[in-house]
A = this chain, B = another copy of it.
Amino acid sequence: MIKRYANPKIAAIFSDEHKLELWQETELAVIGAMEDFQFIRTGIFEEIGEILRMFPIDLEWWEKRDEEIHHDLNAFLDERLRHLDTKYHKFFHKNITSYDTEEPAFGRMLTEATDVIMTLTNDLEETLINLAIKYRYTIMNARTHGQEAELQSFGARCLTWLAELRMAKVSLNHSAINLTYSKLSGAIGKYGSLDPRVEEEALDFLGFSPFYGSTQIMPRVLYAPLGQSLCNMVSVLSKIGLDIRLGARSGRPILQEPFKKKQKGSSAMPHKKNTIRTEQLAGMATMARGYMMMISENIVTWEERAIEQSSVERVAWPDLFHVTAHALKVISGVLKELTVYTDNMLLEVHESRGVYASSEVKEWLKTHLGNSGLTHEDIYRIVQIAGFNVFEPEQEMMLIRETNCGSTQEALGLLRRIGPASDKRKVVSIEKFIPQAKLRVSSSLDISQDQVDVYNEALKKLFKNKQLKKSWKELFTPGFLLKNEDTLYKNILEI
Contacts and interface: CB of A to CB of B under 8 A. Distances in A.
Interface string A408-443: 111110110011011000010010000000000000
A201 interface: no
A113 interface: no
Given A137-B406, A261-B446, A306-B275, A152 B190 contact: yes
Contacts of A355: 269, 271
Contacts of A12: none
A343 B425 CA distance: 13
A214 B77 contact: no
B401 A477 contact: no
Contacts of A285: 300
Contacts of A397: 343
A251 B225 CA distance: 36
Secondary structure at the A interface, as helix, strand, loop or mixed, is helix
Nearest to A210: B491
A469 interface: no
A280 B69 contact: no
A231 B297 CA distance: 10
Interface residues of A, number: 215
Contacts of A111: none
Nearest to A418: B346
B221 A145 contact: no
Contact of A213 (B101, B160, B265, B404): B160
A341 interface: yes
A19 interface: no
Contact of A478 (B280, B303, B312, B415): B415
A300 B188 contact: no
A329 interface: no
A161 to B, nearest CB: 8
B307 A276 contact: yes
A97 B147 contact: no
A160 B281 CA distance: 26
Interface in A253-305: 259-276, 279-280, 282-287, 289-294, 296-305
Contacts of A57: none
A298 to B, nearest CB: 7
A148 B225 contact: no
A43 interface: no
A360 B193 contact: yes
Nearest to A191: B484
6 contacts: A95-B363, A145-B307, A192-B481, A238-B299, A270-B362, A285-B300
Given A224-B235, A271-B387, A315-B319, 6 more contacts: A77-B267, A97-B266, A143-B302, A167-B178, A193-B268, A246-B249
